Amino acid sequence: MCGIVGYIGHREAYPIVLKGLKRLEYRGYDSTGVAIIQDGQLQVHKKKGKVAELEEAVVGKNMHSHICIGHTRWATHGEPSDRNAHPHLSNNGRLAMLHNGIIENYGALKEELIKRGYVFSSDTDTEVLVNLIEDIQKNKEQFYLRNAYIRE
Ligand code: GLU
């Protein structure tokens, strides 16, 4: 469990989030990532390692945005790696999620989502949650929530 920083406003968002992530470095972490929105599209940049490594990886890239979320990860589900770093996108690319902590029932949820056709590109519990939210957005019927996921 490590750090989350978010910014929305009139200033450049990425440098503010980067500064916040650096302030949280003392807590310890294994990877770093940010998501920004440009022209209505989510862009994700993430790296195993220190905030400085992400900073270096995006040199020369257009990071202009007024919305940014950032994360420093302490792996619980899946090894520290670029692909397991947060944020994670949902299958339709319209949701980005980062989170600290553990989703206890992620295995059951993942199985259900795989049956529904979702594909996963990380080993994290977080990617399961972002796709669950996408799926709920697509299937708003109340019975779905009751029957598919809340069994206990
Ligand atoms: N369980 C998540 C993961 O392993 C979040 C870890 C954290 O709290 O940084 O990616």
Task: Report pTM.
Answer: 0.90
**CA 109 to centroid of ligand 1, rounded, Å:** 16
Whether residue 24 has its Cβ less than 6 Å from ligand 1? no
Question: Ligand 1 centroid vs 47 CA: distance in angstroms?
Answer: 14
Residue nearest to atom 5 of ligand 1 (CA): 100
Residue 127 beta carbon below 6 angstroms from any ligand 1 atom:
no
Q: What mean pLDDT comes out for the span 100-118?
A: 96
State the average pLDDT over residues 136-149: 66
What φ, ψ does residue 128 adopt, rounded to 5°? -65, -45
What's the N-to-C CA distance of the chain in angstroms? 27
pLDDT digits (tens, 9 = 90+) for 18-67: 999 999 999 999 999 999 999 999 999 999 999 999 999 999 999 999 99
Q: Which of 94, 48, 92, 86 is nearest to 69 (CA)?
A: 86
Pocket test for ligand 1, best of 98, 125, 127, 128 (most atoms within 8 A of CB): 125
* 44 Cβ inside 6 Å of ligand 1: no
Report in angstroms the alpha-carbon separations of 138 from 10, 44, 83, 145: 32, 23, 26, 12
- DSSP structure class, residue 82: T
Q: Where are the alpha helices (DSSP H) in the chain?
A: 13-23, 51-57, 106-115, 125-138, 142-144
pLDDT score for 59: 97
